[in-house]
Amino acid sequence: MSQDVAPGAVRPAAAKPAARPDEGRWVPYLFIGPLALYLLLLQFYPLVQELLLSFTSTSLLSPRDHTYVGLDNYRNLIAASDFHQVLLVTFVYTIACVVLAVGLGLAAAMLLDQPFRGRGVARALVTIPWAAPPVAVALVFVWIFNAQYGVFNFVLRSLGFESGQENWLDSPELALPAILITTIWQIFPFAAVVILAALQGVSSELREAAIIDGADRLSVFGAVVWPTIRPSVALLALFLTIWSIRRFDLIWLMTQGGPIGATETLVIKLYREGFVYRDLGQAASVGMIGVAIALLVTFVYFHFTRRAEIAEGRR
């Protein structure tokens, strides 16, 4: 028989069951599981296969026939003089891409951060080179650098420069600068957008306080702006470094690594060994050297980032 409840009295709420300590502990694994599976099957497994392939002599015509050769592929690369040239070209190309793209991106971001009429349109237009397909960019710049009817050489000839008479992409001295001009034109908008996003996090109060104290623009940038955007710029430089090491389409479409190896980077060397000379083992060894360089760059980045965080925490 139910008990009588006085009018206006509030019935006590039923007690909720106590949550178990292990309830929900598998939820994070459910979210990270698909990503881990993707990395395992499509990243880690092919990388292990490439490492094993680099210790074999394998032809593209019969990829299932392997002959174990140990470190011979790596010894052949180190002994080859042209591979030293490949490393030098890769280093110069990568450093130039990162420094110039970040520098131009920083300058563009600082300009786009200022208030002016049509700023939204300018911010949208600056992303066009980055959005353009690399194949289209390569074809356009091949035409631009043409010695007879190219716009670039026409401007140089109009200004009285002797280099306006040459086909840049056929010159061992000018081919790499031509590739760099094309690459930086395409990638610096990405750097500008990333740095512009970082600039939105700079405190306007700190800027105004520094200006009131009599600091000039350079001092305000060094004391207020740069410490805020430095982590974003460092991460951007890491991404640009890795992307520059592995860039293939733009270089291959414009010069195919020539002339005389003037623009042959590690990725071009890998493609040539694997699909022109049909030596998959040698191509795999080139790829593993590229992976080692990328991992070294990443390790250096995280090392200095960690040191910067520790130094910042001591202040």
In this structure, what CATH number is given to the domain that contains residue 296? 1.10.3720.10
Q: Give the integer Cα–Cα distance in Å for 281 and 68.
A: 10
Share of the chain above pLDDT 70, in %: 90
Look up residue 18 and give its two tokens: 């106590």
User: Is residue 65, in this structure, part of any structural domain at all?
Assistant: no
User: Is residue 50, in this structure, part of any structural domain at all?
Assistant: no
* Total domains in the fold of the chain: 1
User: Is residue 214, in this structure, part of any structural domain at all?
Assistant: yes
CB atoms within 10 A of CB 254: 24
Contact (Cβ atoms closer than 8 angstroms) between residue 196 and residue 112: yes
User: Is residue 53, in this structure, part of any structural domain at all?
Assistant: no
Which ranges of the chain have pLDDT less than 50? 1-2
Look at the alpha carbons of 46, 48, 49, 51 in this order and tell me if their dihedral is positive or negative: positive
User: Is residue 32, in this structure, part of any structural domain at all?
Assistant: no
Determine the pLDDT at residue 30. Answer: 85
Q: Residue 187: which of 112, 113, 237 has the closest Cα?
A: 237
Determine the pLDDT at residue 57. Answer: 94
User: Is residue 115, in this structure, part of any structural domain at all?
Assistant: yes
User: Is residue 25, in this structure, part of any structural domain at all?
Assistant: no
| Residue 98: domain span | 72-314
Determine the pLDDT at residue 1. Answer: 46
User: Is residue 17, in this structure, part of any structural domain at all?
Assistant: no
pLDDT tens string 208-225: 888 888 888 888 888 889
